[in-house]
A and B are shown apart, each in its own frame.
Chain A
Amino acid sequence: MHKTALLIVSLMLLSGFNGSAATDPPAAEILKSSDVARGGGLPGIVWNVHLVSKDSDAEQVRELIVKAANRDSLVEFLAPAKVKGQKMLTVGRNMWFVQPGLQKPVPISPRQRLTGQASNGDIAATDYSGDYSATLIDQETVAGENCYVLDLHANNKSATYDHVVYWVSKTRLVGLKAEFYTVSGKKVKTATLEYRNRIEYQGRSVPFVSRMVILDALNPANVTTMEYSNVRAAQVPAAEFNINLLTN
């Protein structure tokens, strides 16, 4: 019993009382590395998204093209025909929705969902290292892969969620799972991610997100799946995010 207690105290000292081993990188660095595989920190990125949102009695399918740079993004709806030409522009926290026929761009709030469980923050490039303060709280296994468990708290109003628990692969440094919480601590949804895409970044080929599945915490029948394809890391001109130049 005495030996066991000594072992526990030794391990706590080694881990700095916060679950991280002495050799582990700081939580902020882990988070920053994981952002790259979701478009964060890149000068600009363009990708296509195939989105399927299911609930108990309906299924929505959308084809999107997303252009993103820093905190700005432009989402254009390509299909089905009934939504073709719709656009959602985000510049910082400012958001507008443009619909062919409704000719004036309509300012919208971040609460407006793109479709299904996917918020605009899920579709656009992820900048968790800019939006959240991270603490390494544990290490766990997700889908057979050893992961750092990061506790993220929003440090600015641009963050889509107030609190996120994020599982990042130790070997690949990509986020594999996330749980999203409200200020009151209520879990609203869970996401799992896959990385079968690759992009060229700083002269090397790095993994990039290929699939994200979002489960509604309150109603598990509500599932939104996003498949990312045709990913291009490229500078996106500022004019792309200028509301004055947005045409139908």
Chain B
Amino acid sequence: MNLNLSRRLLLPGLIVMASLCAGQEAADSGLSKKLHEHLVFNFQTLTYMTENGIMNHSLFNPDNLLAQIPQGEGTIELRPNLKWTQGRFMLMAKPRFLAAMGFTSGSAGKQSNSGDFFLQEWSVRVNAARALTVSYGREFLQWGPSMSISPSNPFFIDNGRDNPVKEIGGRDFLRAVYSPSSKYSVSYLWNTAQGRSQTYAQPFLKTHAVKFDYTPSSFNASVIVSKKTDAPPVVGGFLQATVSSALLLYAEGSAHRGTQALFPYQENNSATWQMADIKNGFGHIYSTAVVGGAYTLRNGSTLTGEYIANREGYSDAEAQQYYQLGGENSQRLTSTGPQAESGAATLGAALNPQLLMLRRNYLFFQFLRTNYRDRADFMVRYTANLDDGSGKFAAYATLNCTNHIQLFALGMVTHGSPNTEAARLVRHQAMGGIRIFIK
């Protein structure tokens, strides 16, 4: 258990929660009245099991030596959310407790985590002027209409839609949002620290961004210009139109000169493949775009289709080199001595090459039905990699047994030969559990 700043910050939150509970019994007390007036509080617990069907002959994780993904895992999470609003000020905190126990065959065996307290997100916000809001805190900022990936977002590669159970760590932002009307707004965002997000192989770089939003009657559009330290600016944006009462059409994308993504390459006179950002500072402009639409049926179900053009992704030749690199370093990893260490480092970089998607052309489909008979939600997603023929099928369902108890299940299956994107780590995944809405 970590005795860190997050844990110390958690304590005031727990005190507030305890006060709230006490306040229920003394509804006429001044403190209780104040809590009910200013505090919004909800609290969920999640208990779930995960089973991972690990690829036995993965080129990038041979015999699960590198990623050491547990074959099975049991997890308990406590998720209280607190929001205090008083006058111009708003304080939001999402303290968390997470304990997990994983089971892996082989040398790793059973791994357990006795439990971690941490702050998933927090924010202090002040309405500095009538149309100006300033905030600082750790947030998971998301925008854009596309369901598969969010290329216009320079801060988060993962939009959290693939696995609705897992929470994604926020980053630390200073934000100023100027909203003179509901039609126009301008936001300045300064990403000051990594927070709880993962940047994988590359070091964190501070990022400044400006976001312009325009929301007239039947469509909305945004332009986002961002710049990381010592990197060229990135221009992103999206456009979404409500074409009819049932049909939405949209496009989202980003473009930048050069790329920080990692590509396979061989140094002169070397037969060994490595991963490096060889196109960083390269003058070519790389773009990623999503074009899609969503149609809502009369029964409330929504069908979504998207085409993803990821010009930053690997070409056929680069993909061939990538899998060759995987094969070679996989052999080095399973050998002994210093070769194994360098093989692990190269495979680690290859598993996280800083790309939204590995290849260049994808199709994405989603079926979503929410609030079915006030009891259930269903979501089915399929992503097809048009370049290598692999694909990923995912499904998520919830069933509300009562107003306070929900069962949930998530399944994911990939298909594709060993030299494809979908076959790098996990062949399938299953998750099932119970969510209790305490308050």
Residues of A participating in the B interface, judged by any CB pair closer than 8 Å: 58, 60, 69-72, 80-82, 84-85, 91-95, 100-113, 115, 156-158, 237-239, 241-245, 247-248
The residue that B371 contacts in the complex, of A70, A103, A115, A245, with Cβ under 8 A, is: A115
Q: Which 10 A-B pairs have the closest CB atoms?
A: A81-B437, A80-B403, A92-B217, A104-B142, A241-B182, A93-B242, A111-B296, A60-B374, A110-B245, A111-B246
Apart from A92-B216, A157-B218, 8 more pairs, CB < 8 Å: A69-B182, A82-B403, A100-B44, A103-B160, A108-B302, A111-B300, A239-B127, A239-B179
Contact B294 A107 (CB under 8 A): yes
Chain B residue numbers with a CB within 8 Å of A156 are 217
The residue that B242 contacts in the complex, of A69, A80, A110, A237, with Cβ under 8 A, is: A110
Tell me the number of A-to-B contacts counted with CB atoms below 8 Å.
Answer: 148
Q: In which size bucket is the chain B interface? A: 35 or more
Interface stretch, picked from B161-169, B259-267, B272-280, B413-421, is B161-169
The residue that B145 contacts in the complex, of A72, A107, A248, with Cβ under 8 A, is: A107
B361 at the interface (CB under 8 A from A): no
Chain A residue numbers with a CB within 8 Å of B294 are 107, 109
Contact A109 B142 (CB under 8 A): no
B181 at the interface (CB under 8 A from A): yes
Chain A residue numbers with a CB within 8 Å of B403 are 80-82
Chain A residue numbers with a CB within 8 Å of B250 are 107
B288 at the interface (CB under 8 A from A): no
**Known A104-B161, A238-B182, A242-B179; contact A93-B217, beta-carbon cutoff 8 A:** yes
Q: List 30 A-B contacts (CB under 8 A).
A: A58-B374, A81-B403, A91-B183, A91-B215, A92-B183, A92-B215, A92-B217, A93-B218, A101-B164, A102-B161, A104-B150, A105-B142, A106-B147, A107-B250, A109-B294, A109-B295, A111-B296, A111-B300, A157-B218, A157-B244, A237-B127, A237-B131, A238-B182, A238-B185, A239-B131, A239-B177, A239-B179, A243-B215, A244-B177, A248-B81
The residue that A82 contacts in the complex, of B127, B144, B242, B437, with Cβ under 8 A, is: B437
Chain B residue numbers with a CB within 8 Å of A239 are 127, 131, 133, 177, 179
Contact A244 B42 (CB under 8 A): no
Contact A238 B42 (CB under 8 A): no
**Complex Cα gap A158–B220 (Å):** 14
Chain B residue numbers with a CB within 8 Å of A84 are 42, 437, 439
**Complex Cα gap A128–B231 (Å):** 52
Contact A247 B92 (CB under 8 A): yes
B438 at the interface (CB under 8 A from A): yes
**Complex Cα gap A53–B367 (Å):** 25
CB-CB contacts below 8 Å: B182-201 with A: 182-183, 185, 187
**Known A81-B439, A238-B179; contact A247-B42, beta-carbon cutoff 8 A:** no
Contact A103 B142 (CB under 8 A): yes
Counting chain A CB atoms within 10 Å of each CB, the highest count among B147, B160, B245, B400 belongs to B245
